[in-house]
Homo-oligomer: A and B are copies of this chain.
Amino acid sequence: MDVLVTLASPGEADITPALTLRDIGSFFVGGQTVETADAAVEQHVLARNGVPVRIDPNGTTWLGQMYVQYAIPAVSARLPVLFWHGGSLTGVTWETTPDGRQGWFNQFLRLGWPCYNVDAVERGRSGWAPRDPHFAAPAMLRTWQDSFTQFRIGRPVRDGSLASLAAAAYPNCRFPLDAFGAFMRQVVPRWSTTDDLAVDAYCRLLEQVGPAIIVAHSQGGAFAFRAAERCPGQVAAIVAIEPAQGGTTDGAALAGIPVLAVYGDHLNLDARWPTIRARTEHYFAAARAAGACIEVLDLPLQGIHGNSHMLMMERNNADIALLIHDWLQKRLPVRPDQEDPTHA
């Protein structure tokens, strides 16, 4: 099956103009300290023939911290864009696509937005807490077959060969199928018991770098609505890419926050997505009744067909990024230092 794996590397990347950045870097937000006592001290050999080490699990550890990586254009008066990935995934979602093209992190950066990319609590570089009850259930890892349908790329497949994937893909498929195996390397274990920790950390991030624009995918979309309900003053706009859920209130807190929900194609061919979207639209209706301005960008209704749930990495990802960039330009108030210099 290794024939499917397309390695993306800088040498294969698109030829693009140089990036001039003020800085790149990372930091952590949120989390709480937990004290462990009365656990048995362990003795480990951490490598073949290594010097034995005594590891005492008693003491202080973190729970619920979140990793944030950023890149800031050298010259930018724009608000920060925060990228919040979806379930089973990490911030890699927004980076180089599995077939080696520019992802949305770079595309928004090149459009002049300061960009912040996180790994949600429990995922990636944010780490997790093996002894904590939040992580008592076994972690789940999605298979290639499960992901192919759950991410709505196509009908069920028996194996990951390119022939099988191509035969099962939905019409006008935009996903780079020859890099589906490479994409699956991004998929990491997850739990279903850490949502509250995640929302806490997202609110801490908003407090630190907001007001900011949230570009959120799937599970991240649900977190975006919940975080905006808690700290609306720190949210300048929400772009929810196929959000998995709405928030947990009547959405009145969204009044004054421009919201764009973006949907790909073939929702009606999936077992769960019609229900998921209907529930989210129900939340939107309540929020609109309470004064919120929520717009829906249904890509097939715009003549853009064949996008899956993973539209930020599909062949037309740059086109969709530009649609979102244009919407942000229209909906965000223009600050004096952002006015078009050609009219100054």
Chain A residues with CB under 8 Å of chain B are 1-2, 7-10, 13, 16, 18-29, 31, 33, 36, 42, 44-51, 53, 55-62, 65, 67, 69-72, 74, 87, 90-92, 95-96, 100, 102-103, 106, 114, 119, 124-125, 127-131, 138-146, 150, 159-160, 181-182, 184-190, 192, 195, 208-209, 219, 222, 244-245, 248, 272, 275-276, 279
A65's nearest neighbour on chain B, judged by CB, is: B185
A209 adjacent to B145 (CB under 8 Å)? no
Show 11 A/B contacts (Cβ-Cβ < 8 Å), sorted by A: A8-B28, A13-B23, A13-B25, A23-B106, A28-B186, A57-B141, A61-B143, A67-B92, A91-B125, A130-B189, A131-B141
With contact pairs A33-B2, A125-B91 given, residues A185 and B18 touching in the complex (Cβ less than 8 Å): no
Cα A22 to Cα B19 with chains together (Å): 6
State whether B50 touches A27 (Cβ < 8 A).
Answer: no
In the A-B complex, the 4 residue pairs with the closest CB atoms: A59-B143, A127-B188, A25-B96, A59-B145
| Chain B residue contacts of A19, Cβ below 8 A | 19-24
A191 nearest CB neighbor, chain B only: B46
Interchain CA distance A74-B19 in the complex, whole Å: 8
Contact partners of A9 in chain B: CB under 8 A: 27, 208-209
* A106 and B184 form a contact (CB under 8 A): no
Inter-subunit contact A144/B87 (CB<8 Å): no
Q: Are B16 and A55 in contact (CB under 8 A)?
A: no
A140 in contact with B130 (CB, 8 Å): yes
Q: A67-B92, A144-B59, A144-B60 are in contact. Are A33 and B160 (CB under 8 A)?
A: yes
Q: Are the C-beta atoms of B144 and A61 separated by less than 8 Å?
A: yes
Q: Tell me whether A1 and B60 are in contact (CB under 8 A).
A: yes
Distance of A124 Cα from B140 Cα, bound (Å): 16
Of B8, B45, B56, B62, the residue contacting A146 (CB under 8 A) is: B56
Please indicate the chain B residues that have their CB under 8 angstroms from the CB of A59 in the complex. Answer: 143-146
Could you say which of B53, B91, B181 contacts A150, with CB atoms under 8 Å apart? B53
Nearest CB in chain B to that of A19: its residue: B21
C-alpha gap A275/B52 in the complex (Å): 10
Indicate if the CB atoms of A23 and B28 lie closer than 8 Å: no
Q: A51-B275, A208-B7 are in contact. Are A145 and B26 (CB under 8 A)?
A: no
A172 to B200, CA, bound (A): 38
Given contacts A13-B25, A143-B36, is CB(A219)–CB(B46) below 8 Å?
Answer: yes
Smallest distance from the beta carbon of A31 to chain B beta carbons, Å? 6
- In the bound complex, residues from chain B placing their C-beta under 8 Å from that of A56 are 143, 145-146
A62 contacts which chain B residues (CB < 8 A)?
184-185, 187
B contact residues around A119 at 8 Å (CB):
124-125
Interface centre among A45, A61, A222 (most CB of B within 10 A): A61
Contacts of A138 in B (CB 8 A): 130
Of A60, A222, A272, which is in contact with the most chain B CB atoms at under 10 Å from its CB? A60
Is the Cβ of B44 less than 8 Å from the Cβ of A143?
Answer: no
Q: Which residues of B contact A57 (CB under 8 A)?
A: 140-141, 143
**Residue from B29, B44, B192 within 8 A of A140 (CB atoms):** B44
